[in-house]
């Protein structure tokens, strides 16, 4: 499945009985194999759809390198589409447990009775270093911090969206050599758990253009939490209003920031691509 080009392989584990290949120590290698675009299916990672004691469903997300992530905005929309379209629920408002907490989804249904778009309550963004997380005084915000990568210096604003993000403002996102600068910024010592890096161009107060370097996966076509981090950082810097359209390489996301309650909502599509068997 894919959400504006951010594609994952989804495994239905809703019965709660893990087969041998989903034993905990085997998941990282399975993820690396299945995500390989030459020797596997090809994806930005692996997502398991699971039962939950605390929500309607739960999900686990693994990056293409086998590391586990806490949250994926595009991925959770696809989980909502999967469980509704395949008849696991008839709820149009449901909850999904993630490693960064329980998230609420509102499913928008097309005329064929299938999920077309999903509104996700992404929760609260964090600005203090201790919550992003980033090195330094845990009570301080990470604003205009200079980090070096590939011999260049970038000014970073840190935002936590259940996972760490570094937002960089540039005049031209299209010609950036992300394969050169992305790894160094992702793995900079300031990030104890590495970070996702967003390269943002301000188009106008209602629109952003963003390219994403995701930790553990490299450049992806889109990142839901990254779009939220970019929108929130841009509002706080006075570049945009509370509602923006974020243009990513795979498509657009609508982001709304409720400043009074420090809460972010994201709206975007979810699509099936294919289904089949993977021969381990």
Active-site residues, by number, are 72, 223
Among residues 27, 26, 36, the alpha carbon closest in space to that of 217 is found at 36
Virtual CA dihedral for 122, 126, 127, 129, nearest 10 degrees? -140
Dist. CA 173–CA 15, nearest whole Å: 44
Q: Residue 252: beta bridge partners?
A: 247
How far are the Cα atoms of 109, 153, 180, 213, 226 from residue 149, in angstroms, in the given order? Answer: 44, 6, 8, 13, 20
Among residues 60, 36, 37, 31, the alpha carbon closest in space to that of 47 is found at 60
């Amino acid at each position: 499945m894919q959400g504006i080009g951010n594609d994952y392989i989804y495994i239905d584990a809703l019965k709660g009985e893990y087969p041998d290949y989903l034993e905990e120590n085997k998941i990282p290698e399975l993820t690396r194999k299945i995500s390989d675009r030459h020797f596997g299916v090809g994806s930005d990672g692996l997502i398991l759809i699971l039962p939950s004691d605390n929500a309607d469903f739960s999900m686990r997300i693994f990056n293409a390198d086998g590391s586990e992530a806490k949250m994926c905005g595009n991925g959770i929309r696809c989980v909502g589409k999967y469980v509704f379209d395949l008849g696991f629920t008839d709820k149009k408002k449901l909850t999904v447990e993630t490693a960064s907490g329980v998230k609420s989804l509102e499913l928008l249904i097309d005329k064929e009775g299938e999920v077309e778009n999903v509104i996700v309550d992404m929760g609260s963004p964090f600005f203090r270093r201790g919550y992003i997380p980033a090195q330094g005084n845990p009570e301080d915000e990470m604003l205009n911090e200079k980090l070096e990568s590939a011999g260049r210096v970038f000014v970073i604003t840190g935002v936590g969206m259940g996972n760490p993000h570094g937002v960089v403002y540039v005049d031209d996102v299209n010609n950036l050599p992300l394969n050169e600068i992305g790894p160094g910024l992702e793995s900079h010592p300031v990030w104890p758990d590495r970070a996702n890096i967003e390269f943002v161009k301000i188009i106008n107060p209602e629109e952003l253009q963003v390219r994403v370097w995701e930790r553990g996966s490299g450049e992806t076509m889109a990142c839901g939490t990254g779009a939220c981090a970019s929108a929130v950082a841009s509002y706080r810097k006075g570049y945009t209003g509370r509602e923006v359209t974020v243009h990513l390489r795979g498509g657009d996301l609508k982001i709304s920031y409720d400043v009074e309650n420090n809460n972010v909502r994201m709206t975007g599509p979810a699509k099936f691509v294919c289904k089949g068997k993977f021969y381990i």
